[in-house]
Structure 1
Amino acid sequence: MTTSTTVPAQISARALARRRRREAWRRGWATFRQHRSGMIGLGILFVFVGVALLAPVIAPSEGLSVTRATGGVLEAPSGEFWLGTDDKGRSVLTLLIWGSRISLFVGLAATLLSMVLGTLIGLMSGYFSGWTGAILFRLTEWFLVIPFLPLAIVMATTLGRSLINIVIVIGVTSWPGTALLIRAQTLTIRERPYIERAKVLGAGSGHQMRRHILPNVMPMVFANTTLTVAIAILTETTLSFLGLGDPTRVSWGSMLDAAFGVGAITTGSWWFIVPPGVCVVLVVLSFTLVGQALEEVLNPRLGARR
């Protein structure tokens, strides 16, 4: 009799939790839609993601081959080549479309690595006291003291020029800011009464961090993710422009590097250098706008100050 009573209670509790999550998502989406700049950023982001996913359909990969180039050297925009050609006769539009795949992939993958590292280290440094928390906090401070870009350049030079290495370099060098945010939030949450009740009931450290602290810091992680993606894309563009990117892949940064190398500015070949720069600016702007909107959704007090 006890078992038959407990099972429906558990089912109803889970159904109630799912319904509350759905309602929270609906409220969050309704608040996000009221943020005009956030919707603009989301629209721009959808366009770039769609172009990246449909790149093989929009512009076949044969257009990336130097041996199959059909245009002239730095040919101006025309009906055949809407954005002109590069110094090897390839369509700049084709390079731009395929470059979006690499730039977005590096930005998202590096951000994922950065968020995982920052969240784990922030949680543990904020929850554990004593030597464990102190060492993790000092490690975070050490990474913050070292200049970000020089450290990324040194690591990229040491590891070598490959796509995976660029992801590792950006992810490993961009986690400290997230770790500090998560640590500060964890220090606040661990003093709340329900954490004390969990301790009294015998919950271990892993259970407390996984079931009580992590769900409360995840909104901050989500909001910070969109801003970190923008930083990661800028870093990938910078490293590729400095010649530290993957030489076998086309990205917006490598396009800027190639345009600078052939003197596109001095020869007036604006179609080779302006489009990738504009794409970088638009993608970074879109992620920033979406991040600001998410901050307002997750922290209603920000909206009240507007």
Structure 2
Amino acid sequence: MTTTDTETTPTETPKAPSARSLARARKRQSLARFWRSYRAHRSGLWGLGLLILIALIAIFAPVLVGSDAQSVTDAPGGPMEGPSSEFPLGTDQFGRSVLALLVYGARVSLTVGLLAAFLCVAIGTVIGIVAGHFRGWYSTVLMRVTDWFLVMPTLVLAIALATVMDRSMWTVIIAIGVTTWPTTARLVRAQTLSVEARPYIERARALGGSHSHVMTRHVLPNVMPLVLAQTTMIISSAILTEATLAFLGLSDPTVTSWGGMLQDAREAGAVSAGDWWYLAPPGIAIAIVALSFTLCGRAVESVLNPKLGVRS
């Protein structure tokens, strides 16, 4: 009787996923949970839909209204014509289509609002984290500077900066960004103090974590939800401030913005003449964009802070 040896092939053990793939999977799951929660807010969806529509209109402005719509020499209509089939929103004092100017104005207003809000949040986040992490005279000096900017009228400071600097779009962005950061700094500092009171921060320090390691690896990820919600709120305020500076004649006169259109309408006598088609569209556009960002900001804040209970 013979026995046959059965050959057994060793089974291959599956490779464990890497830390990078696990991190990507967690990020995808977090984004999916965030979107599921965001979709429950109807007002946030309306705001997001309006912003996407306005952004697409701004991006494809040359295709929609033509690339020479802002030209004064090649204006297709007569000065201050009322709404018609050719010009649905009438014309300005140079004969240009108000609808075409409104479409191009969305580019400048959105760009200034986004970049100014980014600059404001960047300054406020850095100062807030540093003031909350370092104690003693570091925090005292930073908070006193923050309080000084906080009590000063933001619009007055922005007007002062825009007056002494060159009249350009970047001047408006800088003027808005460097005058509206104190609120963000105080919110981030309060959140930083709350985060650094947690046990894992003490453990990170005990294991030899440096100041930069604690602030970038532990504090910053925990304050980012607050920063994101604050950003959406600041964008609408930045757009309104840009419109105010443009209306006061402190922006670049060579670019078309909604605030600049209101300034041009005032100089052209549209207020006294009752030419509503030149005044109402840019004002309504500013209000719609500001409202859309506010609705998105409220929805994001409610998702990131469920205790608010805002569900509409």
Q: TM-score, normalised by structure 1?
A: 0.95
2:285 aligned with 1:288? no
In 2, the alpha carbon distance for the partners of 1:117 and 1:304 equals 29
**What is the root-mean-square deviation in Å for CA atoms of aligned residues?**
1.5
Cα displacement (A) at 1:10? 8.5
1:33 aligns with 2:34: no
Distance 1:67 1:19 in 2: 56
Distance 1:224 1:9, change over 3 A: farther
* Residues 112, 172 of structure 2: 8 Å contact kept: yes
- Measure how far apart 1:73 and its partner are: 1.1
Distance 1:81 1:181, change over 3 A: same
Give the distance between the partners of 2:300 and 2:251, measured in 1 at CA. 31
In structure 2, the CA distance between the partners of 1:9 and 1:180, relative to structure 1 (3 Å rule), is farther
Give the equivalent residue in structure 1 for 2:61: 55
Distance in structure 1 (CA, Å) of the matches to 2:16 and 2:111: 41
Maintained 8 Å contact 2:120/2:180: yes
> Map of 1:268-283 to 2, 5 A cutoff?
268-283=274-289
Flag the 1:81–1:145 CA change in 2: closer, same or farther, 3 A.
same
- Corresponding position of 1:4: none
Structure 1 CA distance, aligned partners of 2:209 and 2:72? 62
Q: Which of 220, 237, 243 is the matching residue for 1:214? A: 220
Equivalent position of 2:88 in the other structure: 82
Matched, 1:160 2:166: yes
- Report the Cα offset of residue 160 of structure 1: 2.4
2:234 match:
228
Partners of 2:148 and 2:121 lie apart in 1 by 18
Counterpart-to-counterpart distance in 2, 1:123 and 1:173: 18
> 2: CA distance between counterparts of 1:10 and 1:115?
39
Q: What SS class does the counterpart of residue 86 from structure 2 fall into?
A: coil
Aligned residue for 1:260, secondary structure, equals: helix
Quick one: which of 161, 170, 179 aligns to 2:185?
179
The Cα shift of 1:61 comes to: 2.6
Moved over 6 A (4+): none
> 1:13: Cα distance to partner?
3.4
Determine the C-alpha separation between the residues in 2 that align with 1:20 and 1:102.
37
Q: Which residue of 2 aligns with 1:46?
A: 52
- Residue 265 (structure 1) shift: 2.1
- Identify unmatched segments of 5+ residues in structure 2: 1-13
Q: Could you tell me how far apart the structure 2 residues matched to 1:266 and 1:173 are?
A: 34
Greater displacement, 42-51 / 18-27: 18-27
Q: Distance in 1 between matches of 2:298 and 2:268?
A: 38
Q: How does 1:43-122 map to 2 (within 5 A)?
A: 43-122=49-128
CA positional deviation for 1:301: 1.4
Provide structure 1 residue ranges, at least 5 long, that are not aligned to the other structure: 1-7
Query: C-alpha deviations, 1:195-216, integer Å up to 9, x for none?
Result: 0000000000000000000000
The 1-side partners of 2:36 and 2:271 are apart by: 46
- The count of aligned residue pairs is 299
SS of residue in 2 equivalent to 1:63:
coil
Distance 2:20 2:308 in 1: 31
> Does the CA-based 8 Å contact 2:235-2:293 persist in structure 1?
yes
Aligned-pair identity (%): 54
Partner residue of 1:5?
none
Offset of 1:267 from its aligned partner?
Answer: 1.1
Which amino acid in the other structure matches residue 185 of structure 2?
A
SS at match of 1:141: helix
Contact 2:40 2:311 in 1 (8 A): no
In structure 2, how many angstroms separate the alpha carbons of the residues matched to 1:149 and 1:18?
42
In the TM superposition, what is the alpha-carbon distance from 1:304 to its structure 2 partner?
Answer: 7.3
CA distance in 2, matches of 1:201, 1:14: 23
Q: Residue 278 of structure 1 aligns to which amino acid in structure 2?
A: I
Return the structure number with greater helix share.
1
| Offset, 1:11 | 4.5
- Relative to 1, partners in 2 of residues 1:230 and 1:9: Cα closer, same or farther, differing over 3 Å? farther
- The answer (yes or no) to whether the contact 2:41–2:311 under 8 Å persists in 1 is no
Query: Is the Cα–Cα contact under 8 Å of residues 302 and 310 in structure 2 kept in the other structure?
Result: no
Counterpart for residue 263 of structure 1: 269
